[in-house]
């Protein structure tokens, strides 16, 4: 995705940035014209002049008061943007557990750049053995980012952080003032311990909704009509907290790592009219 330089004391470490996600895994839909099936294009409309505006006629503005804007030219916008040095300047090292995940925004893999293998591995191993993460400033793409460098497997990962004034206070969330009994806390602790694992295995979980959507899309491509299945009656809610906790203890713990992929899939919520295509039928038989 790009390159940069980590400033570590008097050491400069050239690095390369890599994406951590697979955008192709996302299922997305486009806006189409229902009449002819053509993908539509977005246009800009000016309500004052009652006309469509071309991109070449656009500029950027800042709303300094309700309905009042100050306009900026391209040259003025360049003055407002910091110089993209791509420098990752470490300001301090902190215990990794002291950084709350609420500050995490985006993540990027960091790999060594040309000639940076040894200092990169030195920094990664030192941080891993000390349990420390590095808080740094990263100037790129016209912005000044607050980032966190932390050890990840055998290398480093850069976590883009939110600034403190970008986090809303939890005091704004109403949580009530209910009194908790010791017996309720004891039962809740048993429920948690019964369903606990020694480690987190992300491979034990799958996006079953995505798979279901892709299956329905495949049927649609094959010419089938997709209709909603009858809705299930809502389950009765247990009002008594103690009874709910006791019932939870009586149920076997759910461990996704021990289940098969088919067992983890939710019941289908949609049905198709007509026969299923051969491809879908073979997959169902295999499962």
Query: Domain segments of the chain: what residues?
Result: 2-22+81-166, 184-189+204-286
Helix (H) or strand (E) holding 150: strand 143-152
CB 65 within 8 A of CB 120: no
- Sign of the torsion formed by the C-alpha atoms of 160, 163, 167 and 171: positive
Q: What does the alpha-carbon distance between residue 186 and residue 103 come to, in Å, rounded to a whole number?
A: 32
Q: Express as a percent the part of the chain with pLDDT over 90.
A: 23
Does the domain at residues 2-22+81-166 carry the CATH identifier 2.40.290.10?
yes
| pLDDT above 90 (res 150) | yes
pLDDT tens readout for residues 171-229:
888 888 888 888 888 888 888 888 888 877 778 877 777 787 888 788 878 887 777 77
pLDDT tens-digit map of 40-79:
988 899 999 999 999 889 999 989 899 899 888 888 887 7
**Is 225 in contact with 216 (CB distance < 8 Å)?**
no
């Amino acid at each position: 995705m790009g390159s940069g330089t980590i400033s570590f004391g008097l050491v400069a470490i050239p690095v390369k940035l890599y994406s951590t996600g697979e955008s192709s895994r996302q299922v997305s839909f486009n806006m189409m014209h229902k009449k002819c099936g053509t993908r539509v294009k977005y246009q800009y409309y000016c309500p004052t002049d009652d006309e469509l505006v071309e991109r070449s006629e656009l500029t950027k503005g800042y709303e300094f008061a309700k309905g009042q804007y100050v306009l900026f030219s391209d040259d003025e916008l360049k003055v407002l943007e910091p110089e993209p040095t791509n420098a990752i300047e470490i300001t301090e090292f902190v215990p990794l557990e002291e950084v709350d995940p609420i500050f995490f925004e985006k993540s990027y893999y960091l790999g060594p750049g040309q000639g940076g293998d040894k200092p990169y591995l030195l920094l990664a191993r030192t941080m891993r053995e000390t349990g420390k993460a590095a808080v740094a400033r990263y100037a790129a793409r016209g912005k000044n980012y607050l980032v966190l460098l932390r050890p990840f497997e055998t290398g480093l990962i850069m976590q883009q952080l939110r600034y403190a004034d970008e986090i809303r206070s939890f005091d704004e969330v109403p949580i009530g003032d209910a009194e908790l009994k010791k017996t309720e806390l004891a039962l809740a602790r048993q429920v948690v311990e019964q369903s606990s694992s020694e480690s987190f295995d992300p491979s034990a979980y799958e996006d079953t909704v995505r798979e279901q959507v892709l299956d329905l899309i495949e049927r649609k491509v094959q010419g089938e009509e997709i209709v909603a299945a009858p809705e299930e009656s809502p389950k009765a809610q247990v009002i008594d907290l103690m009874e709910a906790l006791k019932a939870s203890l009586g149920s076997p713990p759910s461990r996704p790592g021990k289940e098969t992929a088919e067992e983890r899939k939710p019941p289908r919520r949609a049905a198709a009219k007509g026969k299923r295509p051969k491809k879908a039928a073979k997959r169902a038989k295999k499962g």
